[in-house]
Each structure stands twice: as structure tokens, then as C-alpha cells.
Structure 1
């Protein structure tokens, strides 16, 4: 989702956000849920006091980190059926996407502020002194996280990706790829054509020394700017997913889908690139475990509109499955949930992650108020749904911003960051997915993929 793109969209999203706050307790009851028989809700916690608009998730050990537009929250998930809120940090600045490594939590701010502090207030990007970028926290004390560093980046940080360094350097430092876009001539720190990412280097032993080390232009000849139906012309990337072991990354870059060669971490370069006439906004990407396929999502409508209706059909606001063949991305098929949603439900493809099942390509994915879907794309041309969970609209009388921003699989459970309702834990019980329960992870940043240990039947 993009909160600071165009004035008309900003006004619309602001209105939806206000409606979310004014709606208070969701109008739907628990029995408004439509779901498959093989999935159940194990736990639900509402938004913590002061939180607004839940965003992305990250996991490490027994803890889940949940961003929101007013800061972030930390949950103890040692018992997934009874998660406990440990702390909730107030530090406004959307979207507050999060990644975690050791005691270092990195967060994204794509909301122009009057300074970099947690007491900052909104200030126009036309003012040179305004700030946007990444904030870094020390979370060694989960009950009292400590803000240690900010790094300003061009056009802010809409999303970011934690990128391990190569070889032995991975114990010394990591990189952060900062995705941002939508430059304007009157934005001193966000000048057109942009077409680049920002690279931040973070020393693990001293995160306070984090610094910007490069702003490589990834579209030196410009991106896709002329395709009819684009939400916005390419001026950067919305999201980047890295597969560090294979030295590749997949970029969802507004009007373009790309594969990067990241052997030189500070200078990623495009090795494969494609466009799609049915895609309005390349939003995010997920590799399969072998790294020879990638699922791209199209965020038609920017995440704030009802795009799962009969009027949109099965190929708009959907996933696109591509096989990676050398320097080519080969399209195989689309996947979209088949359950039609109402005009009061923002719905489109959004964030998900893999389930580690041997020999299968299975992922769980969020669809905002379309709920979540667990689906199999082992046959790239014939994806199939395995399970789904879909609550009714936050408000059946009007379109209110809500639904799952992200749904990720971690150590036997699916965790959902629900924009308006809070934090959910779900369990899928199916012979096709149950082998994944035997795979234990100690870390999950969904946009930093590594090869899963797989468990078969």
C-alpha cells in the first residue's frame, strides 16, 4: 500500500483510515467467517492501545514483531494458541514495515516528518528539512525497545529488505535495500526520475553506525511508463525479495517485474525483466524453495479498493506465476481467490510466504478483506487452493480499510496482521501441508528468503 503517492489517493486513503478508527469495534461477529474445513482460528488479539493500521510482520525465536502506522508491537508466541503482548512502541510514521536480526529491528518510514524522532509530526516533503527513511531499534529488552539510529533515504522507505552480506561478512554486517518511488520536482529529497533504490549498511555489533552506502540506479534507461492501465509509471521498486544464497532478488517495481543479480550487494543489477498487460502495480514477490519460480502480486487499486468482485474477473489484481529461465521470466498462469467479495471490502493480492513441504510449492497469502488463501503452485500452469479463511467486512454498510496486510507461516502456524482488527493465529490441518509442521525456524523475514529444510509426507 502507498500512503503518499498522489493527493487524490492520499485523500481517499485518509478517509478510509479515519473510517477505520471511527468504526471502532468491527461490525461483523465471529460467525461471519467463511472458511474451509481444514483451517481454524487459534487466537486473536485486538490492536494495542495507540496502534493504528497494522502493517507487516517479522519473526525471531519465540517473538513476532508487528508494524503499525503509529509504531510497532512485540508478541511472545511461544504458545501460539495464547500469544501475549510484550510491548507496544509509539513511533508514528507509516508504513513501519519491520525486519529483525539478532537484537536489531529495522523499520520503514514513508511518511514525510518534521524530524526523525518518535515525537515527530507530519511535514510536507516539499520542505528540504523534512525526514523519511529507516529507523533502527535495539530490541534486546523486549519490554523496552531502544531507538538507536535513523538513516534518511531518497523518497523515504516504503518497504525495505534485509540482505545478508556474503560469506564471512554475514557475521559482521548486513545490508538493507530500501524501496521507494513517486518523485516530484518540488520534493528536494525525492527528485525525478528516481529509478533507484537506496542501500544501507548496518554493522551488527554497532547498529548506531548504520549508514547509506549507495543509491544504485536500477532503471538507467527508465522503467515502464506508457502501459495503459498502470496505477503509476515505474519510478523505483515497491518491494524486493532476496534469495541471498543464490545471489538473486526479485523486484516488484511498479510497472515492471525484474530479477536482480546481487552478487555485488551494493550494486544490484537487473538480469531479467518483464511487463504484464493485466498488471496495474507490481507489488511483491515470492520465490519458490528451488529459486526457479517467482510469484508476483498485482496490487490493483493500491490496496484500498474492492478488486475481488465479478467486475474485475480472475486475472486482474491477481498473482502471476513466472518460471526463471536464465535471463528470462516466462509467464505460466494467474492465481486469484474465487470467492467474490462485496463493494465494502478492499481486496487484492498482498503479502504471503512459503510453507516448507518437500517437493511442493505451497504458500499462504493475504488478500486484505478477502482473507487468506493457502495454495499450491507446484504445477505452475494449474495453481490450486488448499485452504481459506475469510471474515465478513469490517463494516457492511461502507468501505472501511481492513483485512489481512500479511499472512506468514512460521513453525506450524499462520500469523496474520489484520489492519483494523489486530493479530491472528491460525492453524491449517491438511495432509498436503502437515509435513511443514516438522520444520522449525528461528528467523523469518518474509522478503529475505533462504532455502528451507523440507519435510516430506
Structure 2
């Protein structure tokens, strides 16, 4: 399935400070290692919570929930990804998107809803622009389109662009058709700030689809002039897997494109989760990303879904969406190494950089056979001296875990809501869980927007950060030295 810059994070630059000064700030003078005091794991519960019952560690609590409202309040209208700008959160839904006012995180308010069906409506924002992915073959590019077979040459899939200057009345201004549609897209800032690029990920080609022909070993790159977004167009379709990528088999997926890409613009790096392959890219030339390392895990990984860097750009966490996000994989039968995260170190320099596997991480709680649960979307928490991220696990809830020691990741907090149903399988749970300006925001597929407060000594330095814009797959450099 599924710096003190006005547009960037507040950065702490520490140059030549004495160790005593660092201690006054409350900052460890050396990052934790295997020899340091280990981070205590979150308490594991043996009892599975009941329907809609809340279970959590003491350091993570829910402070707000905004349920889905019409026309998105049906079981079929699945909530999807999140993006943030100033005091607003933008939440994708298979039927469109919602704009929330989050100036008061304890009382978010719906500002507007835009009905625009076209799964899965992956979402990003930049200034007054909002970008939406359509990965559902439609009769045309309008928001009033209907489902239509991709075998019809007139069918449309791709990127929709909205003007969101007026948050109460977003305006649809432009569409860009892309090969095989747009399952997800990643916003990539240009170096001159006059342009943004969208790296469009899509897959599942078919010889009977005129606009989605095999082998489709590529991504589409859309160039958007910031001051004239109606000139947005595809400028490149680089082939990433000239040798065909992973052919599949033994439980691993064949590679026919990418599912999701995370970019680390300050370091000219990107990490691609590409179905059967995990990939590291050099993106110094935004229109010509180059593969510099790739890895496969045919033993435990089924579907490479998403990626997250640590702040130094020396590690990548890849997720495995075993079962496509619709299966119950958080149980003893599946085990701890399938449907999990893979932690990889980046070793070497330049084009000699290599992804090296270190460990798996999976939530330690068992879910029912009616709960879809597997690793999904998350983001780094901007903590100084440690590598800590928050992550959605569908009906497995939300996990905060520390991978400072790549070989021994540990959960330090969790929050989950009991199953949607105890008698039938319902697609639900947290699709995305991200840290933004002091709080964790989660888009629950069925239950709406959740806001959580993390209160833990290991993460207090994250509170020093404030952002004016955050697209989780456009990863900023949180701390600069």
C-alpha cells in the first residue's frame, strides 16, 4: 500500500566549545555506543488491548484526536501520508486531503477538506504549493474523475498541484501525467531555490497498459518552477536498474520501479526503497540521480517500502512492508525479522560508499489476527547525540526506538490503539507517524489525526527545533557542526 533559516530547521552550531560548556547545556560529550549505558526498552505488555482500547508506555501519551469527518468518514476512505507547513498539517486520504490548524496541538481544527479521489494521495507541500500523488487509473485528471482501466490510452495517473495560499480554499492548478502514475513522490529542493523537483515512484507495469510498459526500471522527475508552477513538467525518467533489478523469488519482490525515496539534500544523498532492492543515490545533479550502492535481503525482506537517514547521513533504516500493509505480521508465527526494519551503516566515501547490514528492529508486541501490522512510515526525531526515530506500524501503533548502536536497536516508547474489530479484518491503524515542532502526529487510517506528547530524557533536545515546513521524505540536517 500502500541554521536559523526561515524555511529550515533551527540548527545548533557548536564550534570549539569546552566539554564543560556542553555539560551545562545538558548534552553528552560523546554519543552512546555499545560500551555506553544502554537505553532502557519500553515496557512490553502481554495483554493485547481490546477494541479501541489505548495502551502505551508512560513516556508517550495521546493529547488529541480529530476523527474523520464527511465525506472522508467511511471505512473505504483511507487516511494516508502527512506534510507540515507552519501551523498547519496536511493529511492525505484516498478521497482527497484535509488541512488542519495545529497551532494548538492539543486542539487541532479542520480548516478545509478537498474531495479529489485518486489513491493514495501521497502529499507534500512547498510554500503555497501542495502536491498530490494519484496512483489509481482515472477517466481524466480532474478531481471529479472516475475509475477507468489503465488499458485505456486516455486514462490518467500522476501528480496534481494545488495552490494553498488560502488554506480554507485550496485551488487545483495543474496536473502532470507520469509513467505508471505516482504511488509516492518526494520533494527535492534545487540548489538555487527557484525550482523544486518531485521524484515520482511508481511500479507494477503491464504490457496491456500504454502508459505503464515493462520493464519500468525507472522513476519520473518532475520539475516545478516555484514562481510559475503551471509550467511543471517531466524533465527526466532515469533508468535506475539497467540490469533489471531484483528478479524476485524466495519471498522477495521483483523490482519494477521504486516505492518510496527519501532525500538528504544537504548531503546530496537519497535512499530508495525499491520493492526488491535498497538503494543509495548521489543526487548532486538533481535531474540525474546516480546509484552508488544497492543491497538485497532475500532471506527476510519482502518489499522494500521506505527509508530514513540518521542525522550524520551514515546510516539508513529501510522498512519491509511484508503483506502490503494489509496482513497481520506482528505475531510469533511471522517472527522478529520479517516485516521489520533493517538498519544499515553507510561505509566508505564518495562513489565507494556501501550499505552494510547491521540489524533488524520490530515492535515486541503481539497483535491479533484481525490487525494489519507491519513496519511503515516514520521520521527521525531531532535528538542531539543519538539516532532515534518514531514510526507507524498500522494497527501495531506507534513506536519510538533508538538505533544509535546500529547492531542493537531498542524501543524506548510506544503507543497503540486496540483493533478496529475483534471479529473481522479491517485496514486501519497509523499510516504515518512523524515528529514536528515538539509533538508526534499520526494519521490513523480509520480513526483520524492523533497527536502525542513524548516526554523522555533521551529526546529533550528535539524540543530545541522549530520548523516552518516539513516533508518527512525530504529529510533536513537537524544538527550541523
TM-score when normalising by structure 2: 0.87
Cα shift readout 1:322-351 (whole Å, capped 9, x = no counterpart): 001132110000000000111010000000
Q: Which residue of 2 aligns with 1:12?
A: none
Find the aligned partners of 2:201 and 2:422 in 1 and give their Cα distance. 35
Q: Does structure 1 residue 36 correspond to structure 2 residue 60?
A: no
Find the aligned partners of 2:190 and 2:249 in 1 and give their Cα distance. 36
Q: Which residue of 2 aligns with 1:113?
A: 138
Q: Does structure 1 residue 267 correspond to structure 2 residue 292?
A: no
Maintained 8 Å contact 2:51/2:419: no
Q: Which residue of 2 aligns with 1:256?
A: 277
Find the aligned partners of 2:143 and 2:182 in 1 and give their Cα distance. 16
Q: Which residue of 2 aligns with 1:9?
A: none
The counterpart of 2:306, out of the listed 284, 292, 297, is 284
Q: 1:206, CA displacement in angstroms?
A: 1.1
Q: Which residue of 1 aligns with 2:85?
A: 60
Find the aligned partners of 2:415 and 2:469 in 1 and give their Cα distance. 25
Maintained 8 Å contact 1:358/1:454: no
Q: Which residue of 2 aligns with 1:337?
A: 363
Cα gap change, 1:447 to 1:371, in 2 (>3 Å): same
Any residues of structure 2 matched to 1:47-446 within 5 Å, and which?
47-51=68-72, 52-166=77-191, 169-170=192-193, 172-230=194-252, 232-276=253-297, 277-326=299-348, 327-446=353-472
Q: 1:49, CA displacement in angstroms?
A: 0.9
Maintained 8 Å contact 2:255/2:275: yes
- Between structure 1 and structure 2, the one with the greater Rg is 2
Maintained 8 Å contact 1:247/1:262: yes
Q: 1:48, CA displacement in angstroms?
A: 2.3
Secondary structure class of the residue paired with 1:99: strand
Runs of 4+ in 1 over 2 A off after TM superposition: 27-30
Give the unaligned 5+ runs of structure 1: 3-26
Cα gap change, 1:34 to 1:184, in 2 (>3 Å): same
Maintained 8 Å contact 1:394/1:400: yes
Find the aligned partners of 1:121 and 1:105 in 2 and give their Cα distance. 22
Q: Which residue of 2 aligns with 1:13?
A: none
Maintained 8 Å contact 1:439/1:453: no
Highest RCO, 1 vs 2 (Cα 8 Å, sep ≥ 6): 2
Maintained 8 Å contact 2:51/2:422: no
Find the aligned partners of 1:389 and 1:427 in 2 and give their Cα distance. 10
Find the aligned partners of 1:48 and 1:410 in 2 and give their Cα distance. 23
Q: Which residue of 2 aligns with 1:45?
A: 66
Secondary structure class of the residue paired with 2:367: coil
Secondary structure class of the residue paired with 2:457: coil
Cα shift readout 1:245-277 (whole Å, capped 9, x = no counterpart): 111100000000000111111111110000012
Q: 1:29, CA displacement in angstroms?
A: 5.9
Q: 1:78, CA displacement in angstroms?
A: 0.5
Find the aligned partners of 1:388 and 1:135 in 2 and give their Cα distance. 35
Maintained 8 Å contact 1:240/1:250: yes
Find the aligned partners of 1:226 and 1:34 in 2 and give their Cα distance. 38
Find the aligned partners of 2:388 and 2:434 in 1 and give their Cα distance. 12
Maintained 8 Å contact 2:51/2:421: no
Aligned-pair RMSD on alpha carbons?
1.3
Find the aligned partners of 2:244 and 2:163 in 1 and give their Cα distance. 38
Q: 1:34, CA displacement in angstroms?
A: 1.4
